[in-house]
Structure 1
Amino acid sequence: MSTSNQSTPTRPQMTKEQAALYRPDIVLSHDTASEEGEPWDPIAPALASLPRKAKPDYRVDPTDLSSANCFASIQRAINKAVVDAKTKKITDRLVIEIAPGTYNELVYVPSLEVDGKKVPLTLIGRETDATKTVISVNIDQGLTADAYTMRFSSAFLELDDSIRSMFEAVSARGDFDIGTTNSCVMRVCNDGFEAVNLTIENSYNEDRLTPDVADLPADERPLNEKGQLAYGQHQAVAVLIDAADRVYFENVRLLGDQDTIYFKTNEPRETVKSYYKDCHIEGDVDFIFGNSTAYFDHCRICSKGARTPNTYVAAPSTNIHIPYGIVFWDCDFIHDDSEAALAGRFHLGRQWFERVRATPYGSSPVPGYNCKLGDLSHYEEPVGTIALKTLEAVGKVAVLHSRIGDHINPAAPWTDWNGGEFDRDGNYLPAPWAPRFRPVQYDLDDFTRYLEDWLAKEGLDYSTLDKTLPFIGEYGNSDNGEN
Structure 2
Amino acid sequence: MHVRRRTGLFMVAFTVLGVVASGLAGTAAAHDGRGRDRPDAVVAADGSADFTSVQAAVDAAPTGATEPWVIAVRPGEYRELVKVPATKPFLTLVGTGRHARDVVIAYDNANGTPKPDGSGPYGTSGSASVTLDGADFTARNLTFANLFDEAAHPEITNRQAVAVLTRADRLVFDGVRFLGNQDTLYVNSSSAAVVARAYFRDCYVEGDVDFIFGRATAVFDGGEVRSLTRGSTTNNGYVTAPSTMIDNPYGFLFTRVRFTSDAPAGTVFLGRPWHPSNDPNAIGQVLVRDSWIGDHIGAVAWSDFSGGWSWRDARFAEHHNRGPGALVTPDRPQLTRSEAAAFTVRAYLSGTDGWSPDARRR
TM-score (norm: length of structure 1): 0.60
**Partner residue in 2 for 1:310:** 236
1:230-379 to 2 correspondence within 5 Å? Answer: 231-232=156-157, 234-242=159-167, 244-306=168-230, 308=232, 309-335=235-261, 337=262, 341-356=263-278
1:230 shift after superposition:
6.5
How far does the alpha carbon of each residue in 1:241-284 deviate from its partner, in whole angstroms, 9 at most, with x for none?
Answer: 02x00011011100000000001123324311011001000000
CA distance in 2, matches of 1:267, 1:73: 30
Letter in 2 for 1:417: F
1:413 aligns with 2:301: yes
- Structure 2 residue ranges without an equivalent (≥5): 1-9, 327-362
**Partner residue in 2 for 1:465:** none
1:36 aligns with 2:19: no
1:92 shift after superposition:
2.4
Q: How many residues align?
A: 309
1:414 shift after superposition:
0.4
State the SS of the aligned residue for 2:57: helix
1:62 shift after superposition:
2.7
**Partner residue in 2 for 1:441:** 312
1:200 shift after superposition:
0.8
Query: CA 1:314 to 1:41, structure 2 compared with 1: closer, same or farther past 3 Å?
Result: farther
CA distance in 2, matches of 1:79, 1:61: 15
CA distance in 1, matches of 2:86, 2:214: 20
Runs of 4 or more, structure 1, over 3 Å off, are: 39-42, 306-309
Comparing 192-201 with 298-307, which one deviates more in the overlay?
298-307
Considering only aligned residues, what root-mean-square deviation do their CA atoms show, in Å? Answer: 2.4
CA distance in 1, matches of 2:228, 2:90: 34
1:50-69 to 2 correspondence within 5 Å? Answer: 51-53=35-37, 55-65=38-48
- Structure 1 residue ranges without an equivalent (≥5): 1-13, 22-26, 114-118, 150-173, 210-228, 357-389, 419-435, 444-470
1:140 aligns with 2:110: yes
CA distance in 1, matches of 2:129, 2:277: 23
Query: Percent of pairs identical after alignment?
Result: 36
**Partner residue in 1 for 2:123:** 179
1:43-192 to 2 correspondence within 5 Å? Answer: 51-53=35-37, 55-65=38-48, 70-81=50-61, 85-86=62-63, 91-112=66-87, 119-145=89-115, 147=116, 174-192=118-136
More helix by share: 1
CA distance in 1, matches of 2:292, 2:156: 35
Query: CA 1:290 to 1:32, structure 2 compared with 1: closer, same or farther past 3 Å?
Result: farther
CA distance in 1, matches of 2:177, 2:206: 8
Structure index of larger Rg: 1
How far does the alpha carbon of each residue in 1:1-33 deviate from its partner, in whole angstroms, 9 at most, with x for none?
Answer: xxxxxxxxxxxxx8xxx7xx9xxxxx9xx6264
CA distance in 1, matches of 2:238, 2:30: 30
Query: CA 1:329 to 1:179, structure 2 compared with 1: closer, same or farther past 3 Å?
Result: same
Query: CA 1:39 to 1:74, structure 2 compared with 1: closer, same or farther past 3 Å?
Result: closer
Q: Conserved in 2, the CA contact under 8 Å of 1:245 and 1:272?
A: yes
State the SS of the aligned residue for 1:397: strand
Q: Conserved in 2, the CA contact under 8 Å of 1:105 and 1:185?
A: yes
Query: CA 1:479 to 1:41, structure 2 compared with 1: closer, same or farther past 3 Å?
Result: farther
**Partner residue in 2 for 1:480:** 324
Q: Conserved in 1, the CA contact under 8 Å of 2:292 and 2:323?
A: yes
Query: CA 1:285 to 1:180, structure 2 compared with 1: closer, same or farther past 3 Å?
Result: same
